[in-house]
Amino acid sequence: MRARGLLEQLNDLPEDLLLEAQPKAGRSGFSWRCWTGIAACFCVVAGAALLGVQFWLPAPAEPSPSVDYSQTVNYSDLSFGNTYLPEGLQVHGNATVSIQLEDNMEQALLNHRPIALVEVTVTDMRTKEYRYDIWDVDRLLHQWAQTLQYDFQIEQVYYGSFEAGQALTVENNSYLLDPEYLMEIGGRYVLPVYEEGEILSFARDETVLEGDVHRDTPYACYYLFQPPIQRTVQGDYVMPSSWQILSAYSRQIVMDLSLSSENPGYYDYFEDKMRLVTGEDFARQMAVLVEQLSQS
């Protein structure tokens, strides 16, 4: 049928039918049934995408599969770079009545919380002598004490308010066995930092009559007569097994080099207790330790 004939027939229809066939005023072209179906499809797609993201998120780090933790490492094969002690350095140390070797260094940190846990490079070191007089009941005593001072550049802050790149000086009381575990200039170490105060601890509870007992810095770092954690040139970490969390995934170090000439019998205690931790394992385990320090 031609369009003109169709138009003529439509004109012959009753007026009420034509009015009923006209679009209703305000009718929207939006079809809820249509868009509800589209929205449902979108939810399915979005849900699948979210599940896909969840499935592809990396799992918590695990011990490196490329490391055979049953293998041993010779200490002589490790490199720490160009490290040295200052010429003429003499650490005499102050007498100590007893020595308590911690078998769980992390627990020691939780019991005696440090203000920071940092990785540093030693830039300088020296000793300082204190001479002072105290009154003891009915007599005058002349006292002598020595401290060991280190200058550091902070490389990384694991815990605390210090910043990387910051210079830091610490002053430790020196003891008879300290020469066994001196940190060296150029070496890179991980250490806890404590607020020691302004007064020399040996004189803190004494009535000082003469002499200066003020420390050069309020900060100290003590290792409780144990070898410090030291970083190798390759980015691995050497430490005693008393760091139970940090050395949880580690290899045994065979101490094939003599590290002590003055007290070899004492150092023998750590001969079978030194461990090598990869940089990856160390970072993961350090995060565990920092979380414990932050929550306790």
Higher pLDDT, 155 or 89: 155
| Per-residue pLDDT, 40 | 45
Q: Residue 33 domain-assigned?
A: no
| Rounded mean pLDDT, 180-201 | 91
Instruction: Check pLDDT > 60 for residue 177.
Output: no
| Predicted confidence (pLDDT) per residue in 115-149, tens digit | 999 999 999 999 999 999 998 888 999 988 889 99
Q: Residue 213 domain-assigned?
A: yes
**Stretch among 107-111, 183-187, 245-249, 284-288 having the lowest mean pLDDT:** 107-111
Q: Residue 97 domain-assigned?
A: yes
Instruction: Check pLDDT > 80 for residue 296.
Output: no
| Predicted confidence (pLDDT) per residue in 10-30, tens digit | 444 444 444 444 444 433 333
Q: Residue 39 domain-assigned?
A: no
How far apart CA 174 and CA 169 sit, in angstroms, is 15
Instruction: Check pLDDT > 70 for residue 162.
Output: yes
* Local structure of 10: helix, strand or coil: helix
Q: What is the domain count for the chain?
A: 1
| Per-residue pLDDT, 32 | 36
User: Which residues share a beta bridge with 263?
Assistant: none
Q: Residue 148 domain-assigned?
A: yes
Residue type for position 125: M
Q: Which structural domain range is residue 240 located in?
A: 73-295
| Rounded mean pLDDT, 82-86 | 93
Burial 190-199 (b: 16+ CB within 10 A, else e): bbbbbebeee
How far apart CA 81 and CA 186 sit, in angstroms, is 7
| Per-residue pLDDT, 174 | 77
| Rounded mean pLDDT, 87-108 | 74
How far apart CA 186 and CA 220 sit, in angstroms, is 19
Instruction: Check pLDDT > 80 for residue 9.
Output: no
User: Which residues share a beta bridge with 86?
Assistant: none
| Rounded mean pLDDT, 238-246 | 94
Q: Residue 64 domain-assigned?
A: no
Q: Residue 283 domain-assigned?
A: yes
Q: Residue 261 domain-assigned?
A: yes
| Rounded mean pLDDT, 93-110 | 73
Mean pLDDT of the residues in the chain: 78
| Rounded mean pLDDT, 274-279 | 96
Higher pLDDT, 79 or 97: 79
| Rounded mean pLDDT, 48-73 | 59
